């Protein structure tokens, strides 16, 4: 699904973040990317989303070299990236409206995409993530958890095959966060979605990642991954296997520091 | 509620004015009731014509300034390179009191409506430009990233992000421009015209010494400003409903 081969990337006048870094994932896998702040995990997402480009090396998604944001990839950012001037329903419809705006040109919208029935799709997702009572409100009027549900619905309404999430639950309280983590796990089971969740929390990485990519301090050269096959099982949190993964992650992070 | 507050304020000003006119007992400060009666008579006569002439100049120059300065501000706010290039120019030109250029503009553009509209436009243009540019520069890159990630290119970004994000700034600029526009209007109508409220006020104040008529002109000018202000306010509520919700405010 994702093939990162030998990329080099750094922001202008800053030290390199990736130096000959390679990483491969298979379709349908759910990955967590774990690292301390400043290690370049958000940059990795921007690179995968086609919003930034490596100075050398190649990123391929579904076998195609990335030159621009790809219609089948969705990105959810920490601060939700919702339009403050659009209602919840309008925000969820945004991606579909943009696809209608351009038509199925293969660049902004997938070729052959069916662009009718925006209302039905939006209504389905509003119900699916539980936002019916706030669908006509603006993002400034709803809670952080509801905003994040809006962002998730907006992304999934586009039926992506790759979902990228940057610290999606960082600013939420524990109960809301757990509710949303469960929702993501459920949605993942319903589709063959490949997910990459960036997080600085060991517990969240263990909960959401069947495979976990651990990043040390930059520049990233080698790719340290940990298998966590039981993630996604019911009641995984708190199970012995979950605890093993957590302590394993902690050890690796100490090691990479 | 708001209408009642406005009513109370109006009554307050009228009473203060009335007391002042009683206390001074001079022709230069006539009683407000006298002025209101004069206004009622004149507004359907010659004052009405002057009002329309002024209203046309103010609205034409405001429309022109908004139509030209908004896209320019959007481009400057989003392009650091262009902004670096033009910023010194704007900062040199912005603070110049452009009213002093009235004779020059009259000489070049001639004694007509165009020169007056251009003069007001010149002053408003920079106000709107700077406000819109600053607002456009405030758009968070994360917002642009996430909208681009759902497929938006340049045109969709303009439609779904830049335009709505700067709309409040444009309307704030409109409201701010009203005061300036009306003030400049008076100055440009002092010279080389026989139409407009500025001319009317000057004529009756300094030539004919008919003070109730002069104040009727001032009243007409204030009411034009107030009307425009309310229109801008209504437009703001209508076009930017997300700014008028009960909970926290956004952009």
Q: What is the pLDDT of residue B51?
A: 95
Q: What was the pLDDT predicted at A187?
A: 82
Of B146, B147, B245, the CB nearest to A141: B245
Identify residues of B whose CB sits under 8 angstroms from chain A CBs.
140, 142-143, 145-153, 155-156, 159-161, 164-165, 167, 240-242, 245-251
A56, β-bridge pairs: A8
Nearest alpha-carbon partner for A199 in A224, A238, A171: A171
Q: How far apart are CA B153 and CA A178, in angstroms?
A: 35
CA atoms of A220 and A54, how far apart (whole Å) = 13
Mean pLDDT of A215-241: 82
Q: What is the mean pLDDT of chain B?
A: 89
Cα–Cα dist A212/A251, whole Å: 14
Per-residue confidence band for A219, with pLDDT thresholds at 50, 70 and 90: confident
Q: Which of B138, B146, B161, B249 to mutate to test the interface with A (most CBs of A within 10 A)?
A: B146
Tens digit of pLDDT for each residue in B47-73?
Answer: 999 999 999 999 999 999 999 999 999
Give the list of residues 6+ apart from residue A199 with CB closer than 8 angstroms, or none: A32, A33, A34, A167, A170, A205, A208
Residue B179: its H or E element: helix B163-188
CB A140 within 8 A of CB B240: no
Helix (H) or strand (E) holding B63: helix B46-78
Inform me whether the pLDDT recorded for B77 exceeds 70.
yes
What number of other Cβ atoms are within 10 A of residue B3's Cβ? 7
Q: Whole-angstrom Cα distance, residue B194 to residue B26?
A: 28
Q: Dump pLDDT digits (tens) for A54-112.
A: 999 999 999 889 888 888 899 998 777 899 999 999 999 999 999 888 887 777 777 76
The answer to whether the Cβ–Cβ distance between A71 and B140 falls below 8 Å is no
Cβ–Cβ gap B240/A51 under 8 Å: no
**What pLDDT sits at residue B224?**
94
Residue B247 has pLDDT above 60, yes or no: no
Q: Please list, in sequence order, all residues whose beta carbon lies within 8 angstroms of the beta carbon of residue A152, skipping any fewer than 6 positions away.
A: A76, A129, A168, A180, A183, A184, A187
Shortest alpha-carbon distance between residue B72 and chain A (Å): 22
What does the pLDDT look like over A107-141, one tens digit per residue? 777 776 667 788 999 999 999 888 999 999 999 99
Comparing CB atoms, the residue among B148, B150, B250 nearest residue A84 is B250
CA–CA separation, A174 and A197 (whole Å) = 18
Percent of chain B with pLDDT over 90: 46
A82-86, B71-75, B76-80, B237-241: least confidently modelled range? B76-80
Residue A178 has pLDDT above 90, yes or no: no
Distance from CA of A158 to the nearest CA of B (A): 8
Percent of all residues in chain A with a pLDDT value above 90, rounded to a whole number: 37
Instruction: Tell me what ipTM this predicted complex has.
Output: 0.81
Radius of gyration for chain A, computed over Cα atoms and rounded to the nearest angstrom = 18
Least Cα separation, residue B30 to chain A (angstroms): 50
Of the given ranges (A239-253, B47-61, B235-249), which has the lowest mean pLDDT? B235-249
Chain A residues in contact with B246 (beta carbon < 8 A):
141
The pLDDT value recorded for residue B249 is 43
Bridge-based pairing state of the strands A194-199 and A2-9: unpaired
Averaged pLDDT for residues B80-88: 90
Mean pLDDT of all residues in B154-183: 88
Q: Give the separation between CA A57 and CA B243, rounded to whole angstroms.
A: 45
Contact B147 A73 (CB under 8 A): no
- pLDDT of B248: 47
Q: How far apart are CA A248 and CA B28, in angstroms?
A: 90
The DSSP output letter for A132 is: G
Confidence (pTM): 0.80
Rounded Cα gap, residues B69 and B65, in angstroms: 6
């Amino acid at each position: 699904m994702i093939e990162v081969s030998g990329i080099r990337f750094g922001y202008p006048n800053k030290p390199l973040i990736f130096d000959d870094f390679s990483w491969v994932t298979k379709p349908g896998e759910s990955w967590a990317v774990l690292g301390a702040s400043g290690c370049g995990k958000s940059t990795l997402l921007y690179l995968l989303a086609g919003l930034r480009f490596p100075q050398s090396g190649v990123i391929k998604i579904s076998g195609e070299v990335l030159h621009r944001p790809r219609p089948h990839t969705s990105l959810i950012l920490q601060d939700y990236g919702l339009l403050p001037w659009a209602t919840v329903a309008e925000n969820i419809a945004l991606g579909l409206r943009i696809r209608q705006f351009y038509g199925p040109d293969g660049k902004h919208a997938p070729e052959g995409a069916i662009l009718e029935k925006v209302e039905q799709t939006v209504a389905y997702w509003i119900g699916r993530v539980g936002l019916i009572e706030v669908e006509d409100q603006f993002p400034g009027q709803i809670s952080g958890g509801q905003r994040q549900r809006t962002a998730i619905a907006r992304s999934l309404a586009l039926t992506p095959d790759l979902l990228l999430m940057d610290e999606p639950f960082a600013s939420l309280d524990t109960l809301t966060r757990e509710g949303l983590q469960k929702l993501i796990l459920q949605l993942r089971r319903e589709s063959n979605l490949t997910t990459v969740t960036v997080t600085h929390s060991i517990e969240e990485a263990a909960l959401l990642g069947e495979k976990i990519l651990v990043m040390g301090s930059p520049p990233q050269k080698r790719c340290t991954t940990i298998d966590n096959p039981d993630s996604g099982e019911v009641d995984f949190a708190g199970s012995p296997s979950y605890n093993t993964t957590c302590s394993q992650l902690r050890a690796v992070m100490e090691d990479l520091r | 509620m708001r209408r009642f507050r406005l009513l109370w304020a109006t009554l307050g000003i009228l009473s203060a004015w009335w007391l002042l006119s009683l206390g001074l007992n001079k022709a230069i400060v006539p009683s407000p009731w006298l002025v209101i009666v004069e206004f009622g008579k004149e507004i359907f006569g010659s004052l009405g014509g002057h009002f329309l002439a002024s209203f046309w100049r103010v609205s034409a120059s405001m429309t022109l300034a908004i139509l030209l300065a908004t896209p320019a501000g959007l481009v400057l706010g989003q392009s650091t390179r262009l902004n670096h290039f033009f910023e010194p120019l704007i900062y040199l030109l912005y603070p110049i009191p452009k009213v002093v250029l009235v004779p020059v503009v009259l000489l070049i553009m001639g004694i007509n409506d165009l020169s007056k509209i251009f003069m007001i436009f010149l002053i408003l243009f920079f106000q709107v430009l700077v406000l819109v540019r600053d607002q456009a520069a405030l758009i968070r890159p994360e917002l642009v990233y996430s909208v681009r990630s759902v497929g938006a290119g340049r045109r969709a970004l303009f439609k779904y992000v830049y335009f709505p994000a700067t709309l409040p700034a444009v309307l704030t600029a409109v409201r701010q421009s009203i005061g300036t526009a009306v003030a400049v209007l008076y100055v440009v109508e002092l010279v080389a015209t026989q139409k407009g409220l500025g001319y009317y006020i000057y004529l009756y104040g300094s030539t004919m010494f008919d003070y109730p008529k002069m104040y009727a002109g001032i009243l007409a000018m204030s009411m034009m400003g107030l009307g425009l202000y309310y229109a801008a306010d209504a437009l703001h509520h209508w076009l930017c409903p997300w700014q008028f919700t009960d909970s926290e405010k956004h952009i």
